[in-house]
Amino acid sequence: MSYTYSHLEDLIQKIYHELNIHNPNELTPNSIAESLNIGIYPVITSSQALQFEGRYYIFLNNSLTASERFEMFVHELGHILMHTGNQQHMKEDYRTYQEWKANLFALHFCVPTFMLQKLPAYHLNDHKISDLFGVTSDFACKRLNLNHQRILQYQSMKILQRRTKNYYRTFYI
């Protein structure tokens, strides 16, 4: 089945291509941060991303599991790559929107579509995805649901296009 990537999926595939990352076992916060010249530091407070003197830093809560750290790292990376400004000085609605975008970025970046599509069908369950990509089972389940929604959306669009094309052919040709 063919599939049209979203702009976000295209961007993520481009980033991974530029970082020369092609397989799930290459997805680690340290390797990604090093390639992007981002410092990672453990903290006892909540995780956040900051820019200081032209360099980016991600501070990760050290009480998180390895899978949670990866998810949080990528969430904060989403803020670095897609947002500007200090969230403390933003209106609540815009801050909520940025958090939603960073969460969506994390879902796609931690489990990239181009890697997901290479997997055999029997790997497409939350436990296999969790193990393969180093994310929590809950996160893997959300990502698989999102992938399923995108496939259904694409199939629905194709059906609608065929029906519309046939409709116009019937009345205007």
pLDDT (0 to 100) of residue 94: 74
Q: Could you give the strand order of the β-sheet that contains 55-61, starting from the edge strand earlier in sequence? A: 38-43, 55-61, 48-52
- Residue 161, SS3? helix
According to DSSP H, which parts of 83-136 are helical? 92-110, 113-116, 126-133
- Residue 162, SS3? helix
pLDDT (0 to 100) of residue 121: 86
Whether the per-residue pLDDT at 4 is higher than 60: the answer is yes
Q: Where are the domains of the chain?
A: 7-172
Residues 117-141 have a mean pLDDT of 94
Residues 118-133 have a mean pLDDT of 93
How many Å is the maximal CA-CA distance in the chain?
69
pLDDT (0 to 100) of residue 78: 95
Beta strand residue intervals within the chain, DSSP E:
38-43, 48-52, 55-61
**81 Cβ contact partners less than 8 Å away, ≥ 6 residues apart:** 15, 105
- pLDDT level of residue 139 (50, 70, 90 thresholds): very high
Please enumerate, as own/partner, the contacts of 26-33 that have beta carbons within 8 Å and a separation of 24 or more.
27/70, 27/110, 27/133, 27/134, 28/70, 28/134, 29/58, 29/60, 29/69, 29/70, 29/73, 29/74, 32/73, 32/77, 33/58, 33/73
Global confidence as pTM? 0.86
How far, in Å, CA of 80 to CA of 103, rounded? 13
Q: Tell me if 37 sits within 8 A of 55, measured CB to CB.
A: yes
11-62 residue pLDDT tens: 999 999 999 999 999 999 999 999 999 999 999 999 999 988 989 999 999 9
Which one, of 60, 5, 2, lies nearest residue 29 by Cα? 60
Residues 137-155 have a mean pLDDT of 92
- pLDDT level of residue 100 (50, 70, 90 thresholds): very high
In terms of pLDDT, which residue wins out, 166 or 136?
136
